[in-house]
């Protein structure tokens, strides 16, 4: 302690003696300060899932989403609540202050002790969906690191430090799964077994950036509708990490990291539709979900980020829903992995392609499944729709839902034209990793009430716009 006191004394002398000379001082550690680790909460039990692949068990005995009494076929559109139009928003205070420097209003601001648990069916089903997502990410990141050799990662431009980042992202999922499990309680969903549509490192990375997109967007879609504001706070602090994961996987995929001004929020049934096909089986007593499973939509000319000309493609995905890129038929001269500047798509902080992956006016050819297919854990969920005849493609990106007419509809196939629309001037709305749906109506919806579109959806997919 005397050593530190003497340093302080020198500082004081330097202030009171105007002509003193500054003496250089290099601090050297003389002791190591030790302290006992603080008590921390234990993490949820995690096991390394050893079984991967398609479900091969017996036919499911329970099918369909969790359900109870349904009071209406749809939730009708209503006018806005009047009180939301009455606040003058003039920069002045219009309510008594509950405390100094504290404006009136707000939710969960009355001083009551926070309770970090779900408090309604809506909360439970939403957070349980998010937990299913955290579990698959935890397994997927570990699986890819074990499935592919260091040499295969190196050939795809990812070195040991990059692989450690993926490992660290898996560690993050342990924390996320723990937090969500604690907020749900003893019946929270647990780890399952999974089936991934990838056979190469490049496909693995592309699937990751699409999986984390619907994981991130799925939470954005419901977080502000939760009854438990405390639960929403924890989810917010986890999903911001997920957003960074999605950005990093875009960088690993050789894509521009953030080509939009606003990220997308989607309904829970969209997130569950995209996630469920990659879950093979779960324990027999696993918590079931209420959310709908829509049929799969395949983008037959889905842009392929592994190509120099990613837009000039046909049938180069590993299947519907995620529409993950396939590297199977790409020759060395067509691959952008080691191409020249402007064409190169090797992992990087940022890439700016001279040939865009997609563009307004592009013909997009589509094929979709009919409802009634079993999907998800133990094939125990069934795809369903309440929509009528398919008439539109709904492009869901940023703050926009833009509809384009389906052309040449023939059974479950059609094409449409990629729209030319902007969120704000200078911000093309259709960009990045976005969502594409087939609908029977061009219903007007906005980010906060996007779930109103669900009764009109025929099929759903990820579209790689940029």
CA dihedral 121, 380, 131, 384 (to 10 degrees): -60
CA distance 172 to 250: 18
CA distances from 247 to 323, 327, 348 (A): 18, 21, 11
The reported pLDDT for the residue numbered 12 is: 34
Assess contact for 381 and 372: CB atoms under 8 A: no
Tracing tokens 């940022």 back to the chain, one arrives at 350
> In which element (H, E) is residue 299 found?
strand 297-299
CA distance 329 to 316: 8
Tell me which of 92-101, 127-136, 189-198, 360-369 is least confident.
Answer: 92-101
Assess contact for 464 and 437: CB atoms under 8 A: no
Assess contact for 295 and 385: CB atoms under 8 A: yes
Does residue 2 carry a pLDDT above 50?
A: no
- Averaged over 212-222, what is the pLDDT? 98
The reported pLDDT for the residue numbered 10 is: 33
CA distance 374 to 367: 18
CB neighbourhood size of 127 (10 A): 27
Give percent helix, percent strand, percent coil of the chain, each to the nearest 5. 30, 15, 55
The reported pLDDT for the residue numbered 202 is: 97
Does residue 33 carry a pLDDT above 70?
A: no
> In which element (H, E) is residue 218 found?
helix 201-222
> In which element (H, E) is residue 133 found?
helix 121-147
Assess contact for 351 and 256: CB atoms under 8 A: yes
The reported pLDDT for the residue numbered 67 is: 85
- Mean of the per-residue pLDDT values of the chain: 91
């Amino acid at each position: 302690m005397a050593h530190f006191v003497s340093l302080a004394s020198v500082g004081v002398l330097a202030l009171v003696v105007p002509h003193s000379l500054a003496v250089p001082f290099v601090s050297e550690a003389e002791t190591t300060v030790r302290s006992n680790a603080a008590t921390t909460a234990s993490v949820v039990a995690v096991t390394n899932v050893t079984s991967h692949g398609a479900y091969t068990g017996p036919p499911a005995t329970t099918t369909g989403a969790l359900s109870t009494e349904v009071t209406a076929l749809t939730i009708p559109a209503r006018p806005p609540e009047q009180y939301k139009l009455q606040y003058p928003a003039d920069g002045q205070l219009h309510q008594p202050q509950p405390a100094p420097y504290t404006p009136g209003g707000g939710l969960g601001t009355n001083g009551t002790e926070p309770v970090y648990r779900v408090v309604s069916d809506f909360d439970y089903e939403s957070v349980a969906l998010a937990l299913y997502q955290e579990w698959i990410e935890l397994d997927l990141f570990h699986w890819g690191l074990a499935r592919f050799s260091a040499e295969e990662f190196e050939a795809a431009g990812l070195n040991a430090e990059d692989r450690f980042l993926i490992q660290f992202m898996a560690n993050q999922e342990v924390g996320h799964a723990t937090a969500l499990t604690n907020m749900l309680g003893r019946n929270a969903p647990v780890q399952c077994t999974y089936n991934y549509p990838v056979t190469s490192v490049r496909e693995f990375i592309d699937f990751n950036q699409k999986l984390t997109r619907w994981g991130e967007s799925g939470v954005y879609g419901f977080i502000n509708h939760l009854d438990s504001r405390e639960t929403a706070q924890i989810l917010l602090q986890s999903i911001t990490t997920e957003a960074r994961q999605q950005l990093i996987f875009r960088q690993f995929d050789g894509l521009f990291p953030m080509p939009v001004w606003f990220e997308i929020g989607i309904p829970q049934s969209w997130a569950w539709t995209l996630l469920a096909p990659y879950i093979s089986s779960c324990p027999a007593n696993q918590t079931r979900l209420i959310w709908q499973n829509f049929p799969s939509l395949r983008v037959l000319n889905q842009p392929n980020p592994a190509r120099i000309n990613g837009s000039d493609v046909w049938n180069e995905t590993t299947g519907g829903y995620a529409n993950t890129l396939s590297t199977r038929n790409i020759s060395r001269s067509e691959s952008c992995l080691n191409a020249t500047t402007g064409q190169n798509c090797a992992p990087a902080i940022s890439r700016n392609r001279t040939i865009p992956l997609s563009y307004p006016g592009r013909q997009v050819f589509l094929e979709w499944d009919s409802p009634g297919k079993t999907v998800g854990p133990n094939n125990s969920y069934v795809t369903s729709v309440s929509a009528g005849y398919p008439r539109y493609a709904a492009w869901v990106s940023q703050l926009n839902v833009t509809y384009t007419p389906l052309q040449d509809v023939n059974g479950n196939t059609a094409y449409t034209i990629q729209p030319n629309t902007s969120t704000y001037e200078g911000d093309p709305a259709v960009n990045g990793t976005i969502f594409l749906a087939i609908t029977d109506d061009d219903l007007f919806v906005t980010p906060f009430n996007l779930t109103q579109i669900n009764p009109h959806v025929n099929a759903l997919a990820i579209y790689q716009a940029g």
